[in-house]
Structure 1
Amino acid sequence: MLDTKTIEVVKSTAPVLQEHSQEIGERFYELLFARVPELYNMFNQTNQKLGIQQGALAYGVYLAGANIDNLDEIQSMVERVTEKHRALGVRPDQYPIVGETLLQAVKDVLGEAATDEIIDAWEKAYQAIANIFIDLEDQLYQETEQQPGGWIGNRSFYVDQKVKESEVITSFYLKPEDGNTLPPYQAGQYLTIQADIEGEQYSHMRHYSLSDAPNKEYYRISVKREDPEDDAPAGMVSNYLHNQVSEGDTLNIAAPAGDFTISSEKQPIVLLSGGVGITPTMSMLNTLVENDPDREITFIHGAENSEVHAMREHVEQLASDYPNVTAFFCYSEPTEQDRVEKRYDKEGYIDLNWLQSVLSDNQKDFYFCGPLPFLKAINQALKEWGVPAEHRNYELFNPMSTLEEK
């Protein structure tokens, strides 16, 4: 337990860390990679170049500090991070160096304002939070290893099929090279791929949502090829998978992880996705029609147009085969052929007025996934409609953040 004085100091200085979050994050990663270069492979270097990872780290530290006297308030964040840590293979012995580096970054950025009292308080707070993470991750490691077919670390899978789903999305059907049992997973979870790319000094690890219902034969991920755009470089791992990995090739994979999963409640469910955010919602849809045929399901997907819209025909077939499934598509930049053939239900983006026109009411469970602007827009629309937080569930592909952040 932290003493009252420590809690007071941490809570009062948390806003200062938030104010300087980007600078602290940048300094932290600069120091960390210099001290422990082997950790380089755990972080998405595109997010590093864009400054996303740096800001997310320090913002997470701020949230922990601001809620240090009631960490239950950030339980969902903690669960999400521990799932990712388990998937990446984070070890207890890595926490001390991370803590030392973080405190040094705070000192370097804040200078004389980072008094001994402040640093001592944050050191105690970090250790208390680290212990929570270590304990939860230990439980996850044990649960993962003990389930039928479970494993810790990486396991070799071969690409059984590589299927083009759209101009930018390709599915990879993965089977274990050892031929042994595949552990089950929950719809909405993801796999972590370790890519060993020729010419790269370090391995690169990425999370990709499983895009099919759990089964005993294979895992499927559906990956968007991230091309260069504005200030963002091409996605190193997505392009590697699209351009260099072929059927028969092997990949090192960590066991399924993630907390974006369907609740056991039986009320109607709405699956909303934008772009490649369709991958976890597709897994959910396929799972629901197999296991919960009486539950009312509304599937809504937003894409630029039919050329980049993956798995459209499959969703249409399910909506035709199952009377409890209704599907809608929204295209922000439809092609002329899309217009001629009326391939979409709405031109433009998904908004509250349109949602209210196609949904009977807001008494439903909402699950949504896609780019951060999409998530923020959907979350805000659902809030305005009065959907409580416990019925607004989302998966964020970016590093840790919150949709409530301005």
Structure 2
Amino acid sequence: MDFKQKELIKATVPILQSAGAILTEHFYKRMLGQHPELKEVFNMGNQANGRQKEALAGAVLAYAANIDNPSVLLNVLKGIGNKHVSLSIKPEQYSIVGEHLIASIKEVLGDAANDELLEAWTIAYNQLADIMINIEKEMYLANLEKEGGWNGWRNFTIGKISEESKEIKSFFLYPTDGKKIADYKAGQYVSVQVYVKEIELLQPRQYSLSTVPNSEFYRISVKKETAILNNPAGMVSNTLHGMQVGDTINLSNPAGIFSLRPAGTPIVLISGGVGVTPMLSMLETNRDTLKNKTIWVHGCRNASVHAFKEDVNLIQEEADWLDTYLFNEDVDDQSDSAIIEGRVDLNKCKEAILLEDAHYYICGPEMFIKTHYNSLINFNVSKSNIFYEEFGPGSINLN
């Protein structure tokens, strides 16, 4: 790509800022209309609420803005690559996306999308596609080299279901073929694929693995998403909550770049609601192997939706390295002095969490992450020591 073409790409940034949502909506409608089989790859719930379109617009904008040095996006690209591999994305599907993205730029921008701009974007997209294909190729190979690893979808049987709160159930998933399963890092996730009757499609979702790695089963803990205001009920979470022991689902090999770093430094785990799931895996792993000083900060609406409270209490009874700070928006039992009323506020435990060289892990919805990431930055915590996992299509990039 020459200098002029790069300048054309960068000049697209303000256009994308003003027309990005329209462009991506047109793109998805165009592509899924001509390739309906891809509806089983994309999260149709996020298609309906617009979050996937926002995530694509943000990614396109970031790439255009960094066209001179796309290597600064490497960590973001690796995160996307992990998700693609967990969904079994194939190289040929990049050609489909590229065809419809360039066509959408032409159709939406009209006269502003001249031949020079379209050629520049075609080259830029193909370069990005090549980067992603190579990243994912290495990940696919790594999956097969790992004992018990696999690519694509593998059938698992639900061996046990446990109720963790009023909203959250844990599913213990055993390989139906009885063969070994791949190890994983605390904090990683699997993609789950189930058939959703309401839309007559297979649908994938990502769920964090919620227990310490073991050789027998995977455990995911799923919040049943009910319809609230303009947000529809979660298609996959409701399907899972309706399943029983003995039912089968498809799983990907474990994936994800959000994982516990094996450093001998303090750990601060900050979660909201069902964001507790990867944190529990990290906490249990620290208990079994590292025993680093750990601060557990968790918030939820009330006691009835507080998952894994007893699990954490049991660990704390035996662990002098663990301190906990629990926040409930509504405190049911006023005599429970361990609960801090209100939403998570890091100012209320600032002295406890500001530990030398500590690693900070945040998991929850977008606004939860942004709020507490910014609080840590205001506390002069280094960005390089803050790690986060967003529940959703990955629309934020703070580092």
Asked if TM exceeds 0.5, the reply is yes
1:384 aligns with 2:383: no
Please state how far the C-alpha of 1:203 moved relative to its aligned partner.
Answer: 0.5
Counterpart of 2:207?
208
Counterpart of 1:153?
152
Unmatched 5+ stretches in structure 2: none
Tell me how far apart the structure 2 counterparts of residues 361 and 190 of structure 1 sit (CA, whole Å).
28
Please state how far the C-alpha of 1:343 moved relative to its aligned partner.
Answer: 4.8
Counterpart pick for 1:304 among 296, 301, 326 = 301
Tell me how far apart the structure 1 counterparts of residues 149 and 234 of structure 2 sit (CA, whole Å).
30
Q: What amino acid is aligned across from residue 319 of structure 2 in structure 1?
A: Y
1:119 aligns with 2:113: no
Counterpart of 2:64?
65
Task: Write the mapping of 1:123-272 to structure 2, written as runs, cut at 5 A.
Answer: 123-198=122-197, 200-243=199-242, 245-272=243-270
The 8 Å contact of residues 160 and 245 in structure 2, kept in 1 or not, is answered as yes
Counterpart pick for 1:350 among 337, 344, 351 = 344
Unmatched 5+ stretches in structure 1: none
The 8 Å contact of residues 57 and 400 in structure 1, kept in 2 or not, is answered as no
Please state how far the C-alpha of 1:202 moved relative to its aligned partner.
Answer: 1.8
1:341 aligns with 2:336: yes
1:79-138 deviations in Å (ceiling 9; x for gaps):
110000000010001111101111122222212111211111111000000000000101
Counterpart of 1:401?
395
Aligned Cα root-mean-square deviation (Å): 1.4
Counterpart of 1:7?
6
CA 1:355–1:403 in 2, change beyond 3 Å: closer, same or farther?
farther
Tell me how far apart the structure 1 counterparts of residues 184 and 298 of structure 2 sit (CA, whole Å).
24
Tell me how far apart the structure 2 counterparts of residues 326 and 383 of structure 1 sit (CA, whole Å).
22
Q: What amino acid is aligned across from residue 321 of structure 2 in structure 1?
A: N
Q: What amino acid is aligned across from residue 373 of structure 1 in structure 2?
A: M
Tell me how far apart the structure 2 counterparts of residues 361 and 71 of structure 1 sit (CA, whole Å).
34
TM-score (norm. length: structure 2): 0.97
CA 1:402–1:362 in 2, change beyond 3 Å: closer, same or farther?
farther
The 8 Å contact of residues 266 and 355 in structure 2, kept in 1 or not, is answered as no
Counterpart of 2:326?
329
The 8 Å contact of residues 144 and 151 in structure 1, kept in 2 or not, is answered as yes
Tell me how far apart the structure 1 counterparts of residues 394 and 153 of structure 2 sit (CA, whole Å).
23
Helix, strand or coil for the counterpart of 2:126?
helix
Please state how far the C-alpha of 1:235 moved relative to its aligned partner.
Answer: 0.2
The 8 Å contact of residues 266 and 356 in structure 2, kept in 1 or not, is answered as no
The 8 Å contact of residues 38 and 202 in structure 1, kept in 2 or not, is answered as no
Counterpart pick for 1:317 among 308, 314, 318 = 314
Tell me how far apart the structure 2 counterparts of residues 372 and 261 of structure 1 sit (CA, whole Å).
18
Helix, strand or coil for the counterpart of 2:335?
helix
Tell me how far apart the structure 1 counterparts of residues 356 and 396 of structure 2 sit (CA, whole Å).
22
The 8 Å contact of residues 362 and 387 in structure 1, kept in 2 or not, is answered as no
TM-score (norm. length: structure 1): 0.95
Tell me how far apart the structure 1 counterparts of residues 22 and 218 of structure 2 sit (CA, whole Å).
40
The 8 Å contact of residues 83 and 258 in structure 1, kept in 2 or not, is answered as yes
Please state how far the C-alpha of 1:234 moved relative to its aligned partner.
Answer: 0.3
Tell me how far apart the structure 2 counterparts of residues 329 and 67 of structure 1 sit (CA, whole Å).
40
Helix, strand or coil for the counterpart of 1:62?
helix
Task: Write the mapping of 1:366-385 to structure 2, written as runs, cut at 5 A.
Answer: 366-385=360-379
CA 1:231–1:142 in 2, change beyond 3 Å: closer, same or farther?
same
Tell me how far apart the structure 1 counterparts of residues 79 and 12 of structure 2 sit (CA, whole Å).
25
CA 1:113–1:362 in 2, change beyond 3 Å: closer, same or farther?
farther
Please state how far the C-alpha of 1:341 moved relative to its aligned partner.
Answer: 3.1
Counterpart of 1:289?
287
Helix, strand or coil for the counterpart of 1:339?
coil
Please state how far the C-alpha of 1:165 moved relative to its aligned partner.
Answer: 0.2
Tell me how far apart the structure 2 counterparts of residues 197 and 301 of structure 1 sit (CA, whole Å).
32
1:30 aligns with 2:24: no
Helix, strand or coil for the counterpart of 2:222?
strand
Task: Write the mapping of 1:273-288 to structure 2, written as runs, cut at 5 A.
Answer: 273-288=271-286
Q: What amino acid is aligned across from residue 171 of structure 2 in structure 1?
A: F
Please state how far the C-alpha of 1:317 moved relative to its aligned partner.
Answer: 1.0
The 8 Å contact of residues 83 and 259 in structure 1, kept in 2 or not, is answered as yes
Q: How many residues align?
A: 399
The 8 Å contact of residues 262 and 290 in structure 2, kept in 1 or not, is answered as no
Please state how far the C-alpha of 1:199 moved relative to its aligned partner.
Answer: 5.3
The 8 Å contact of residues 352 and 385 in structure 1, kept in 2 or not, is answered as no
